């Protein structure tokens, strides 16, 4: 197997076919992507430097890519500005973060405001609590 130096950039593809070129070092914050791109693996993703996420829309993957670059830029900083997240993507992004293994970065309590869902059900809750059945059924009921 050829263990050549991997490319500096990778391509992430959404379920609806949009392609995002991402700095490899930024995307490797995800243990799932890191495993997919491991040059020692036999995965096609590692050989092609291309990962397809059929279950993610372009809107969600775009925000995930933005987060990767945000994380990469501020990874060694203490004064990190807030990253804006559209309210309508909150739950889908939480699911994407869980899928990509980014739970450790989402372990802080949610900072959503009451205006997000016109309820305080998620204010101060942790990601795993928001994903729980009880929270979802209360929000969507």
Per the confidence metrics, is the pTM higher than 0.75?
no
Sign of CA dihedral 62, 64, 68, 70: positive
CATH number reported for the structural domain that contains residue 32 in this entry: 3.30.710.10
Closest listed residue to residue 31, CA positions, set 104, 80, 84, 83: 104
Parent domain of 53: 9-78
CA distances from 35 to 39, 51, 53, 72, 100 (A): 9, 11, 14, 18, 11
Cα angle at 112 between 110 and 117, to 5 degrees? 125
Does any domain span residue 61?
yes
Which tens digit of pLDDT belongs to each residue from 13-33? 999 999 999 999 999 999 999
Q: Does residue 125 lie in a domain region?
A: no
Q: How many structural domains does the chain have?
A: 1
* Digit-coded pLDDT (tens) for 68-108: 999 999 999 888 898 888 888 889 999 999 999 987 654 44
**Residue 23 lies inside a defined structural domain of this protein:** yes
Tell the residue number behind the tokens 């263990």, with chain if given.
3
């Amino acid at each position: 197997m050829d263990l050549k130096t991997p490319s500096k950039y990778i391509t992430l593809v959404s379920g609806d076919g949009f392609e995002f070129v991402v700095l490899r070092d930024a995307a490797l914050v995800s243990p799932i992507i890191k495993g997919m791109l491991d040059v020692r693996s036999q995965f096609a993703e590692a050989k092609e430097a291309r990962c397809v996420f059929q279950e993610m829309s372009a809107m969600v993957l775009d925000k995930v890519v933005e987060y990767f670059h945000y994380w990469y830029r501020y990874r060694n900083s203490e004064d990190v500005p807030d990253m804006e997240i559209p309210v309508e993507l909150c739950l889908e992004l939480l699911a994407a973060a869980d899928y990509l293994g980014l739970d450790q970065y989402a372990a802080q309590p949610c900072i959503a405001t009451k205006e997000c869902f016109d309820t305080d059900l998620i204010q101060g809750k942790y990601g795993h609590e928001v994903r729980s059945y009880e929270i979802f059924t209360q929000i969507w009921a």
